[in-house]
């Protein structure tokens, strides 16, 4: 590992040991579900081109992550690639491409652990792809399909995708008892507000180039299958993001959810010498509304995902 890696922007690849067993398992469940769905979706979309196209693009993302640019004082900006992949290929294919990249990084280079790989895939593959995709599509609808609109949409999508991935990482670390949420969330989100700019710049540069040379490649992502499902997933994420932002800004008065948590002893239990599978929240938060805010995010996201899934299935069944 070169010395420069120590000064590189905080990477989102979580190593083994930093997430609790329960959180790791949840991560795997989510990742497997996303991958399975993605496999089904993309087979229909790409046919026999599926494997060579996604394989080579996975190699591309991997290689592209090495093209960095100096930012300041020895640090450099570089690409994660989830949004770019989602814009070019559509979100589900992007999930597969990023899974391949992140999986191999973990297997071959120990960049990220194996047990925690589930959430690494979710954070850096699924969340980034869908956040980027949804924002890109939404902004395109608002701004039009001219060159500058596409670039602006891509920039915002890329920027936010990194922040969302970072926030998710922070939440997972907090739920594992590794880092208090009040430290992790602002730190990760804050840092990635800056790092996301690098992602946005490179994504925009790439999109501009592709727009100028082979615009038809951008259309490939447009025709991505089950756009309805993808949009619902995007809506869920957008909702979650909004709630997260609001919970940050929320007042410091304990709300109902938190009162319940206090009453049931969920908060403030003493650290037991014997290990519990569920980590305790004796870690003092900067403000307890953060916990309730995050719980709201999680609950809200699950609810919207659930609705979206059901709706999409109903739509699919009625269309079939």
Among 60, 239, 266, 305, binds another protein (CB under 8 A): 60
- As measured in angstroms, the least distance from the Cβ of 225 to another protein is 15
Of 141 and 148, which has the nearer Cβ to another protein? 148
CA angle 238, 300, 162 (to 5 degrees): 35
Task: List binders of another protein among 117-176 (CB under 8 A).
Answer: 173
* Cα 139 to Cα 154: distance, rounded to the nearest angstrom: 9
Residues 6 or more apart in contact with residue 317 via CB below 8 angstroms:
none
Residues 6 or more apart in contact with residue 47 via CB below 8 angstroms:
none
222 counts as binding another protein under rule CB under 8 A: no
- As measured in angstroms, the least distance from the Cβ of 245 to another protein is 23
Cβ–Cβ under 8 Å, residues 180 and 280: no
* Cα 71 to Cα 90: distance, rounded to the nearest angstrom: 30
CB atoms < 10 A from the CB of 257, how many? 15
Cβ–Cβ under 8 Å, residues 89 and 52: no
Among 33, 217, 260, 303, binds another protein (CB under 8 A): 217
* Cα 297 to Cα 301: distance, rounded to the nearest angstrom: 6
Among 86, 96, 167, 195, binds another protein (CB under 8 A): 96
Among 202, 226, 244, 267, binds another protein (CB under 8 A): 202
Q: Name the one range near another protein by CB under 8 A: 142-150, 198-206, 249-257, 292-300.
A: 198-206
- Find tokens 């790989």 and name the residue: 117
Among 15, 186, 254, 287, binds another protein (CB under 8 A): 15
Of 18 and 309, which has the nearer Cβ to another protein? 18
**Structure tokens given for 228:** 């309805």
Of 133 and 238, which has the nearer Cβ to another protein? 133
Binding mask 33-52 for another protein (x = CB under 8 A): --xx--x---x---xxxxxx
């Amino acid at each position: 590992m070169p010395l420069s890696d120590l000064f590189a922007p905080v990477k989102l690849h979580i190593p083994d040991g930093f997430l609790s067993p329960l959180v790791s398992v949840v991560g795997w469940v989510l990742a497997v579900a996303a991958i399975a769905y993605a496999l089904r979706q993309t087979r229909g979309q790409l046919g026999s081109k599926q494997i060579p196209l996604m394989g080579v693009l996975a190699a591309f993302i991997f290689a592209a992550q090495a093209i960095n640019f100096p930012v300041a004082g020895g640090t450099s900006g570089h690409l994660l690639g989830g949004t770019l992949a989602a814009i070019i290929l559509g979100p589900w294919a992007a999930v597969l491409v990023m899974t391949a990249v992140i999986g191999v990084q973990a297997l071959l280079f120990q960049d990220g652990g194996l047990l925690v790989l589930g959430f690494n895939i979710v954070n850096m593959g699924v969340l980034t792809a869908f956040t980027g995709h949804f924002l890109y599509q939404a902004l395109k609808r608002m701004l039009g399909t001219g060159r500058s609109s596409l670039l602006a949409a891509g920039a915002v999508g890329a920027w936010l995708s990194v922040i969302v991935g970072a926030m998710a990482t922070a939440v997972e670390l907090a739920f594992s008892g590794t880092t208090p949420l009040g430290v992790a969330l602002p730190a990760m989100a804050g840092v990635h507000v800056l790092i996301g700019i690098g992602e946005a710049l490179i994504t925009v540069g790439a999109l501009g180039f592709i727009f100028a040379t082979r615009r038809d490649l951008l259309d490939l992502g447009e025709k991505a299958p089950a756009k309805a499902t993808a949009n619902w997933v995007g809506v869920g994420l957008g909702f979650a993001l909004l709630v997260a932002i609001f919970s940050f800004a929320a007042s410091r008065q304990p709300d109902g959810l938190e009162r319940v948590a206090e009453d049931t002893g969920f908060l403030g239990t003493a650290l037991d010498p014997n290990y519990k599978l569920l980590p305790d929240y004796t870690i003092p938060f900067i403000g307890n509304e953060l916990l309730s805010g995050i719980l709201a995010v999680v609950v809200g996201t699950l609810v919207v995902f659930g609705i979206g899934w059901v709706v999409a299935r109903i739509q699919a069944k009625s269309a079939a």
